[in-house]
Structure formats: C-alpha cells, structure tokens
Amino acid sequence: MLDETPKRFDRIVAILIQLQSKKIVKAQELADRFECSLRTIYRDIRTLEASGVPIYSEAGVGYALMEGYRLPPVMFTREEISSFIAAEKLMQKFTDPSLGTHHASAMYKLKSVLRSADKDWLSNIESRVVMQTAEPMFNDNSPNTLAVLFEGIAEKKQILLTYKTFDKDETTQRNLEPVGVFHDNNNWYFLGYCHLRKDYRQFRTDRIQEIKKTEFDFTIEHDALETYLNKTETCATTTVRILVEKKIARYLNYERKYHGFVSEKEIGDKIEMHFMCRDIESGFPRWYLMFGDYAEILEPEILKTKVLELLEINKKRLI
C-alpha cells in the first residue's frame, strides 16, 4: 500500500501557510486546492490544532489563525524560486512604475531568506529571462495607476480620473468606484461604476492622464468583477460566414473572439468560420483585410461591399 504520510505532511504545511496568507479560509477552498474531500481537510485541521496551532472556526464562515500567530521563516524549493523570476520579470514590464518599485522591495526580502547556493542558482537564471511589451501600458503622467486602483478597491474609496478616449483629443474627469482590474489583449483595463454615466464602464490604463484616490466611500455594494465581465450586452448583430485556408486559420484563434466568433467546421483544406458580428461597418472589414488574400466571404453581401470600399480608399492613396 502506498505510504500517504509524506503527501499528507506537505498538505498540512501548505494548509498552515494558506491560513496565514488570508484572514478567513473556507474548507471547500482547501479541498478544491488539494483535490481531496472535506473530511480530509477537517482531519488535517484537527491535526494542526492538536499540534498547538491556534485555529478558530465559525460554521458557514471558515477557519482563521488567532491574531498574532506567525510561522517561522520558510524554505523555498527550486521550483518556487523559479516562479519568483517569472513574477519579477512580469512585474517589471507589465505593471506601473509605482507598483513595480514595491514589488522589487518585496523580492529583496524574499531573496534574503534563500540559502547561498539558491541565491547563486537564481542569479544565473535572472539575466537570461526577458519580457518584452509592444506598447506602453501606462501613461507617463500617471505612473501609479495600478497602485491607486488597488487602494481604492481595497479601501472601497472613490477615485477621481482624468481620461482621454480613443477617438477624441479632449479629456474628461470622472468620479468612479473601481470594481476590479483585468488584463486582456495586451492591455490593462479596470471596470468601475461611473457617477457621470450612472452605469458601469471600463477604462484602459494607457489612456489615463491622472488618477487620485478620494476620501469618498463607495455608494454601491458591487458584485465580483467576473459578474460584470461575463454579462453579455444585448445589441444588434449580423451573421457572418467566411472560408479561410487552414494554414492561416490557426493564427486567428485569439483575435476572432473579439469579432463575435461562434463556431467553425472543416471543409476540405479550409475552415468555415461563423460569427455574430457587432461591427459590420468598420471593425470586421478592417480585421478581414489582414488575411483576406487567404479567405473568402460567404455572407453577407454588405461585408463584401465594405471590404471593397476600404480597398478602393487604399488604392487611391497608393496611386
């Protein structure tokens, strides 16, 4: 019979670390993480209590460590040290300067507890990992965008935002209640309740000219960010079918979701793609031209017309 003792020991230590990392931890959360039953989690918690770890629990709420209890310094595995490198490089390129500075400070503290051999191992890898971004993700005038957003979300305080939209030169000021931050299609966004529009809106961080946290509390109890991101807006759509050569179709897998992709099927050496398009006037025709010499429009006729109009404009400018 397989000896489960080492596996159980690692799980119990990991549970103790997780209890220290959060104010409240639910049993189901632990069971999901370690892929075990609730009964196993209950048994592990009792083992920690019997070992002298001061845990208190409340039915329907979860487990927590008594205030003031702390673990002694922990040792990191080589695999965990490798994750530090990836996180550090990502933070250097994909966050604003303010948050990046704070992360660098935290990394010095983490590295300080490593053994000498592990420090050398880490140093040998660091200079050989590089992250590159195509475009700036933050405005130079607002170097602390993410830091302010995180503070506003954590403290439930409104923020004052100076924002420049994509199609206009002028800026507008908004009082917002930030709900959450997300990264999509190589850009950082945040979603918030806009007091000017009386509705939820999303904003791109590189268009933020200035951001400040105010002393005004939230006026609304907001749901989790995923609740708003998963909502589908009701708007007019147009059915689109295109035929794309297989060798090109695979490169469209990421971008097609932004154009209402629904399904696909193989037809010989080509892929027929079905879309419910929201922007048949401009967005979809311009995207189609990126690979149009390897594709064919099956429907609608208006898409063919719009593509021809764009080609005619380009032709006049080239001649």
So what's the pLDDT on residue 136?
A: 72
Q: Does the residue 149 lie in any domain?
A: no
Same domain for 222 and 245, yes or no, is: no
Structural domain count of the chain: 4
E strand or H helix that includes residue 244: strand 238-245
pTM for the model stands at 0.58
Domain that holds residue 247: 238-318
Same domain for 92 and 61, yes or no, is: no
Extract the residue ranges of the chain whose pLDDT is less than 50: 1-3
Same domain for 82 and 59, yes or no, is: no
Give φ, ψ of 23 to 5 degrees.
-70, -45
SS3 sequence, 35-90?
CCCHHHHHHHHHHHHHCCCCEEEECCCEEEECCCCCCCCCCCCHHHHHHHHHHHHH
CATH number, domain containing residue 268: 3.30.70
Q: Does the residue 220 lie in any domain?
A: yes
So what's the pLDDT on residue 226?
A: 87
So what's the pLDDT on residue 73?
A: 60
Q: Does the residue 94 lie in any domain?
A: yes
d(CA 22, CA 232): 33
d(CA 114, CA 51): 27
So what's the pLDDT on residue 1?
A: 40
Q: Please state whether beta strands 270-277 and 295-299 pair in parallel, antiparallel, or not at all (unpaired).
A: unpaired
Same domain for 252 and 207, yes or no, is: no
pLDDT, tens digit (0-9, with 9 covering 90-100), for 75-106: 788 888 888 888 888 777 778 788 888 887 88
pLDDT, tens digit (0-9, with 9 covering 90-100), for 22-45: 788 899 999 998 889 999 999 999
Same domain for 53 and 105, yes or no, is: no
So what's the pLDDT on residue 262?
A: 93
Residues 6+ apart with CB under 8 A from 283: 259, 277
Nearest to 31 by CA among 40, 20, 22, 18: 40
Q: Give one DSSP letter per residue of 163-210, joined into a string.
A: EE-TT-SSEEEEEEEEEEEEEETTEEEEEEEETTTTEEEEEEGGGEEE
Tokens representing 107?
A: 């990394």
Tokens representing 315?
A: 């032709």
